[in-house]
Amino acid sequence: MPTMTTATTPGTIAMSSGQLAAVALSTIRSVLGGERCQYLSAPITGGPRLLDWHRRIGRGLPDRERSAGRSLAVTRPNIDDVIRLAEEQRSAGRRTIEPGSFEADFPQWGQPEFYAFWNVVLERHADRATFADGWNFSAGCTFEYLCAVRHGLPTVDIRGKAIDPDTALGLIDEALSTIDSHWLREDPRDGSLAALYEGIGLQRRAIAALRRSGDAAPDAHAGAALASIHASTSLRGHGSDTRAEGRHHAAQG
């Protein structure tokens, strides 16, 4: 991870991105020790809720209102959903790590840092990855699917049914087709759909490569590539909705 530091105010301590990650990871380790548990992957800033909201409301909002509207109508309800699902899993006896409660406001963390962090959590602390409904509409969830498979973790849906790579690719293709049908490519207001489509497409190619060759790298490079997609759509005039909400789960599109 980059070693960027941030300005401090009296009573605070400057920490690099890597130091922040080490603190967060050591906190998880202090709770779990060597125990592994379920990782619950669910859309945070994206998913079906984003597609529906953008089509009905978001596209028609002024640029200055779109990000705030998305946070209220998409991100907050998504976070509530993943926390609720995690509690249901815990009540059923499955210890669960979920990203919705990780509200780390790290200004020096961008997309690559969040992606790298959750990849390490999956590698070190998960015994399986469970995917909430709608995961295939999320760039972050598809990245986590790639990570889980690469680390040899079982991958299942919220009902416990296995999601093998062929099934995953089929679900991702369905999501891409749906997003494509709503994405107005020439409309600068559709930046969030552009980022979502391109981000999911990037992970789809990596998962397909993993299926073919048995080797793919779910590391910071993939996170950086996904971040570059969000940045490039912003530079093309699409806006920066996803980046604005990056303090949660790697700005999971």
pLDDT digits (tens, 9 = 90+) for 53-105: 999 999 999 988 999 999 999 999 999 999 999 999 999 999 999 988 886 66
Buried b / exposed e over 11-44, threshold 16 CB at 10 Å, is eeeebebeebbeebeeeeeeeeeeeebbbbbbbb
How far apart, in Å, are the Cα atoms of 92 and each of 85, 87, 156? 11, 9, 16
Question: What is the structure's pLDDT at 31?
Answer: 83
Give the length of the chain: 253
Question: What is the structure's pLDDT at 212?
Answer: 87
> What's this model's pTM, rounded to 2 decimal places?
0.81
pLDDT digits (tens, 9 = 90+) for 215-233: 545 444 454 554 444 443 3
> Between 8 and 55, where is the model more confident?
55
